Structure 1
Amino acid sequence: MDELADQPTLAMTSWVTFHTWELIGPNDDKRVIRHQPRLTCRSMTAILDAARAGLGLGLLLESACEADLQAGRLVRVLPEWQSEESQFYIVFTTARGMPPAVRVLIDFLVEKSKHH
């Protein structure tokens, strides 16, 4: 586990002074891995592309890399460990006037998040 900090990594943010991954393992063991990313950006797609190119380890949403995992283009490192639950917000200017397609998308995302 400690060797992760010595590997080239990829991170989603670039405005912090140090980067950490908070991981939960077997028996709810928690570890904080401090690392210095080779690449930082604000794009999940860019991180995914960099991981596919072999530039480093990335902590990605399963839904973002599921097809690559199934196709064998990417592999899970330490599959018994995962990140803390992510929190996300769906925002819109107002519920009044929200297009029906947006409501359907929100319902889908809420349902999908229950399974992760």
Structure 2
Amino acid sequence: GRLRGWTLRHARGEEATVELPRPRAIFNDPEAIAHAALMGLGVAMLPMPFVERGLRSGELLRLLPDWHQDAGAVWLYYPSKKLLPPKTRVFIDFVLERFRDERFAQRMQVA
């Protein structure tokens, strides 16, 4: 039930924690947070896939463009390459192909 501050990283490598004032609303669904931000209900920190369209259209504004939160890499984890079920291999290939075709990594860059 305790709210944590946002730990942000600057493009130069500096790190800072933003302590949040008392919130007016709390969500645990990134899509709901994105909709609230689009409705002008406040400031939000969200993964790029949830805000990319709003940023491109101008509906959302990036308040601290040189700062980001490092959420880490996206991983596909499976126990072993030996005896990998065909459906798992197909899924892995599908995800990798979609990420490449959609240029996902480039679109999610902090720049």
Asked if TM exceeds 0.5, the reply is yes
Higher strand share: 1
Structure exhibiting the larger radius of gyration computed from Cα positions: 2
Partner of 2:16: 31
Whichever residue aligns with residue 74 of structure 1, its letter is L
Q: Which moved more, 1:49-58 or 1:22-31?
A: 22-31
Whichever residue aligns with residue 5 of structure 2, its letter is T
1:98 is displaced (CA, Å) by 2.3
Out of 89, 92, 105, the residue aligned to residue 103 of structure 1 is: 92
Kindly indicate whether residue 31 of structure 2 is the aligned counterpart of residue 45 of structure 1: yes
1:84 is displaced (CA, Å) by 2.1
Whichever residue aligns with residue 37 of structure 1, its letter is P
> What residue ranges of structure 2 are gaps of 5+ in the alignment?
none
What CA deviation, in whole Å up to 9, does each residue of 1:36-67 have, x standing for no partner?
Answer: 43322221110000000111111111222111
1:69 is displaced (CA, Å) by 0.7
| Greater than 4 Å deviation, 4+ residue runs | 87-92
Partner of 2:66: 80
Kindly indicate whether residue 9 of structure 2 is the aligned counterpart of residue 17 of structure 1: no
Whichever residue aligns with residue 16 of structure 2, its letter is R
What CA deviation, in whole Å up to 9, does each residue of 1:5-61 have, x standing for no partner?
Answer: xxxxxxxxxxx4122111112421110112143322221110000000111111111
Partner of 2:56: 70
Q: With the length of structure 2 as denominator, give the TM-score of the two structures.
A: 0.69
Partner of 1:112: 104
Q: With the length of structure 1 as denominator, give the TM-score of the two structures.
A: 0.66
Whichever residue aligns with residue 96 of structure 1, its letter is P
Q: Which moved more, 1:35-44 or 1:23-32?
A: 35-44
Q: Report how many aligned residue pairs link the two structures.
A: 100
